[in-house]
Structure 1
Amino acid sequence: MDILTDITARRAALAPDATAFHIVETGETLSYAALDRRSACAASLLAADGIDAGDRVAILCRNRVEFFELLFACAKLGAILVPLNWRMPASELDGLVEDCTPKLIVFGDEDRETAAALARTHSLASLDLETGYAGRRDALEPHAGRTAWPGEEPWYLIYTSGTTGRPKGVIQTYRMALVNAINIGQAIGLRPGDATLNFLPLFHTAGINLHTLPVLISGGKVHILPGFDPAATLALIDAGELDVFIGVPAVYRELTLHPDFETTELTRLRHWSCGGAPLPDVLVEAMARKGALVCNG
């Protein structure tokens, strides 16, 4: 547990042509070889912008492949990714940025104004995922990176919601990511090549750790949506494209209320999980009537 091998490099070596990500909105797929190259080139981009080991990189965006490219890029450099809550205004994010002192803020189009305000207030360099990222990334050679990631080192920093005081930065180490993958894998019976759906917010542990990182570590496929879309989710399930799934009670409510729910073959998905709050009996029963037994964590 003291060392985690470079995940994307190892997966690219084992199965370079296997699909790592499927972008549901566009149909684009990304192989493990492409994910590793993009992540290594993103590491070169970060290094060119002055990011060294131990530096923090803040990111403010919805669910997208580039988030994970940068997560793995930080690991290759030894830097620390800090996902910020895009539901919070800049005035509320000020304290978090002051606490983690990032060198750079990366942002998507939806959060451009918030990122610009934070960059001005805290004198941060910024990187635009829409216009400045892909071109620069692809023009660079892949970074050599680190062959192994020490277990005790911080990999990413997730802030709590602050419901009982100021939000606190929770340190997520490489060892924690590996142990989580083992525990989740045992709990849901994860198999090599399994597919999941990434849509839960990436500023929360579930968006990263349930079940996306375990699936990527095991060499599976991650379908990705910017946010929850019940129609698209049910379509993937009915097509047999998902093997393991996790949502919160509100997600299950929206699935059961959608017009396509009754015609969707839920048993094509092997393991259903729920977390974040107790799952009401009425939702458990609605899913069970169609053969889907939801495990409430």
Structure 2
Amino acid sequence: MIAPHPAARLVFAGATLDGAALAGQARSLAARLRAAGVARGGRFGWIGTNHPAMLAAFFAAAEIGAAMVPFNWRLSEEELRWIARDAGIALLVRGPSHAAALPGIPGLPDRAEPGAPEGGPMDPLLIGYTSGTTGRPKGAVLTQSAFAANAAAARAVFGLAPGERVLTVLPMFHVGGLNIQTVPALLHGAGVLLHDRFDADAFLDAAERDRPTLSLVVPAVMAALVAHPRWATADLSSLRAVGAGSSEVPLHLIEAFHAKGVPVQQVYGATETSPIAIAQMREEALAAPGSIGRPVPGVEARLVPGTGEIAIRGPNVMAGYWGDAAATRAALDDGWFATGDVGRIDADGRWWFTDRLKHLIISGGENISPAEVERVLAGAPGVREGAVVGRPDPRWGEVPVAVVVPAEGFEAARVLAHFEGRLARFKQPRDVVAVEALPRTALGKVAVAELRKVVAR
């Protein structure tokens, strides 16, 4: 059963919990979940910014043998309720920041009697909803054994051990923020300095005051730090490395961290792989900036002949998509997960990300399905037909842009206003480009490459 190491330390808002105290909170929460009807094999939701209560809920799920469904609080209420229905959520644990979220879904009872731990390695522990190319998000089912395998990979990649201090600023509703460093640190007896969300000043303050040894960033976070007025004089000397991933990491951002003496260890994976699958060791981060590294111990990786698509197999790979056997069969072939990304292997055996087969937009570390945005766009006033594509953006990496064929009454402002309340803000198009006709291939499909040229003008 997954449980925090007694020597682990969790620091949040000036208060410290050791691993034993965190485990105690998890046991109490497990009792309340059982009293509310959450049994082995059951599911419950969590919503809130980063908080120790989320980690207690995670370990409570492990004790029961239940699965936690972390909700991305950036989503609209409509999107959140769709996930709740899809996952069969009958109970929601709310963090302090979202105490009034999703009214109508029951919360926890005040008290209950503790029970015996029941969770085991093959029990689902987390269902992470991730955007794909088909529109609606899919729930990747990760077992306790997948989390254990991922923690072993994290230990090998980052050298996690007692005495290490991980600074966590990325949202833990994504497996990246939760499981690349945070949960592995707690399992291996290291410390976690937890922030409720990313703030550049708070990050730099913590680096100087709390002296973390590791942290995890995405390109948008890196860009915000490098552009900050304090960057030139910031003391990052305690950081022996930062992990980075979620999308291709621009070389100029890697070089800015290296110039401060902080190696950037790229980590490649997906929600479906828990997520660590391919990663750089510290030495290779300095020797080959831009590479995603090598397959981590216990994980196999291959390039699919003909396409060069990266496929992953190992104990870290999901059990499947919740309630979607067809999508599971499409994604998993003899245990191999098809990532939708194209890669290459150089003469020294290092792996490099080169392109995406899947038409996904990655903005600030968030996956955006164009099909999901296009479904809303289809109902916008004054739009005959339309498509959505990513436009390069210096802050977010990419932002979604709608390309439309106008109908009577078309106004770009009305099209943009149509998305309010229907989709999370980060999914909403930042611009509308009107064209006489959408570019199409010989088979009639929208030509995505041509659309990208249209929005880049």
Category of TM-score, reference length = shorter chain: 0.7 to 0.9
1:102 aligns with 2:89: yes
> Does the CA-based 8 Å contact 1:151-1:174 persist in structure 2?
yes
Q: Which amino acid aligns with 2:227?
A: L
Instruction: Name whichever of 285-294 and 222-231 sits farther off.
Output: 285-294
Structure 2 match to 1:7: 3
Structure 2 match to 1:126: 107
> Whose strand fraction is larger, Structure 1's or Structure 2's?
2
1:283 aligns with 2:272: no
Aligned residue runs from structure 1 range 92-171, under 5 A: 92-116=79-103, 119=104, 124-127=105-108, 136=110, 142-146=114-118, 149-171=119-141
Flag structure 2 segments of 5+ consecutive residues without an equivalent.
Answer: 268-457
Cα gap change, 1:165/1:6 in structure 2, threshold over 3 Å: closer, same or farther? closer
In structure 1, how many angstroms separate the alpha carbons of the residues matched to 2:73 and 2:254? Answer: 31
In structure 2, how many angstroms separate the alpha carbons of the residues matched to 1:262 and 1:210? Answer: 28
Cα gap change, 1:218/1:109 in structure 2, threshold over 3 Å: closer, same or farther? closer
Instruction: Name whichever of 68-77 and 195-204 sits farther off.
Output: 195-204
In structure 1, how many angstroms separate the alpha carbons of the residues matched to 2:123 and 2:77? Answer: 29
Structure with more contact order per residue of length (Cα contacts < 8 Å, sep ≥ 6): 1
In structure 1, how many angstroms separate the alpha carbons of the residues matched to 2:228 and 2:2? Answer: 41
Larger Rg over CA atoms = 2
- Displacement, 1:103? 2.1
Instruction: Name whichever of 209-218 and 42-51 sits farther off.
Output: 42-51
1:246 aligns with 2:216: yes
- Displacement, 1:155? 0.5
In structure 2, how many angstroms separate the alpha carbons of the residues matched to 1:86 and 1:191? Answer: 32
In structure 2, how many angstroms separate the alpha carbons of the residues matched to 1:262 and 1:141? Answer: 54
1:52 aligns with 2:39: yes
In structure 2, how many angstroms separate the alpha carbons of the residues matched to 1:197 and 1:113? Answer: 28
In structure 2, how many angstroms separate the alpha carbons of the residues matched to 1:35 and 1:107? Answer: 18
Cα gap change, 1:177/1:233 in structure 2, threshold over 3 Å: closer, same or farther? same
In structure 2, how many angstroms separate the alpha carbons of the residues matched to 1:199 and 1:163? Answer: 28
Give the TM-score of the pair, scaled to structure 2.
Answer: 0.55
Structure 2 match to 1:31: 18
CA deviation map 1:245-290 (0-9, x unaligned):
1110011111112232222222311121110122222212221221
1:262 aligns with 2:249: no
> Does the CA-based 8 Å contact 1:278-1:296 persist in structure 2?
no
**What secondary structure sits across from 1:125 in the alignment?**
coil
How many corresponding residue pairs? 267
Instruction: Name whichever of 202-211 and 235-244 sits farther off.
Output: 235-244
> Does the CA-based 8 Å contact 1:41-1:143 persist in structure 2?
no
Q: Which one of 55, 66, 84 corresponds to residue 71 of structure 2? A: 84
Q: Which one of 21, 26, 40 corresponds to residue 10 of structure 2? A: 21
In structure 2, how many angstroms separate the alpha carbons of the residues matched to 1:233 and 1:289? Answer: 18
1:231 aligns with 2:201: yes
In structure 1, how many angstroms separate the alpha carbons of the residues matched to 2:116 and 2:231? Answer: 47
Q: Which one of 57, 62, 66 corresponds to residue 70 of structure 1? A: 57
- Displacement, 1:163? 4.6
CA deviation map 1:106-127 (0-9, x unaligned):
22354355411xx3xxxx3224
**What secondary structure sits across from 1:81 in the alignment?**
strand
- Displacement, 1:39? 0.8
Cα gap change, 1:164/1:284 in structure 2, threshold over 3 Å: closer, same or farther? same
> Whose helix fraction is larger, Structure 1's or Structure 2's?
1
**What secondary structure sits across from 2:107 in the alignment?**
strand
Instruction: Name whichever of 174-183 and 286-295 sits farther off.
Output: 286-295
**What secondary structure sits across from 1:246 in the alignment?**
strand
> Does the CA-based 8 Å contact 2:65-2:125 persist in structure 1?
yes
In structure 1, how many angstroms separate the alpha carbons of the residues matched to 2:29 and 2:142? Answer: 21
Q: Identity across aligned pairs (percent)?
A: 33
Q: Which amino acid aligns with 2:233?
A: T
Instruction: Name whichever of 257-266 and 81-90 sits farther off.
Output: 257-266
Cα gap change, 1:6/1:181 in structure 2, threshold over 3 Å: closer, same or farther? closer
In structure 1, how many angstroms separate the alpha carbons of the residues matched to 2:122 and 2:169? Answer: 28
Instruction: Name whichever of 92-101 and 178-187 sits farther off.
Output: 92-101
CA deviation map 1:189-224 (0-9, x unaligned):
222231112221222111210210110111111111
Aligned residue runs from structure 1 range 198-209, under 5 A: 198-209=168-179
Give the TM-score of the pair, scaled to structure 1.
Answer: 0.83
Structure 2 match to 1:191: 161
CA deviation map 1:132-163 (0-9, x unaligned):
8xxx36xx5654324xx422210111001245
In structure 1, how many angstroms separate the alpha carbons of the residues matched to 2:64 and 2:195? Answer: 27
In structure 2, how many angstroms separate the alpha carbons of the residues matched to 1:65 and 1:29? Answer: 10
In structure 2, how many angstroms separate the alpha carbons of the residues matched to 1:52 and 1:150? Answer: 13
In structure 2, how many angstroms separate the alpha carbons of the residues matched to 1:184 and 1:6? Answer: 15
In structure 1, how many angstroms separate the alpha carbons of the residues matched to 2:215 and 2:169? Answer: 10
Q: Which amino acid aligns with 2:72?
A: N
Structure 2 match to 1:210: 180
- Displacement, 1:83? 0.6
In structure 2, how many angstroms separate the alpha carbons of the residues matched to 1:180 and 1:174? Answer: 10
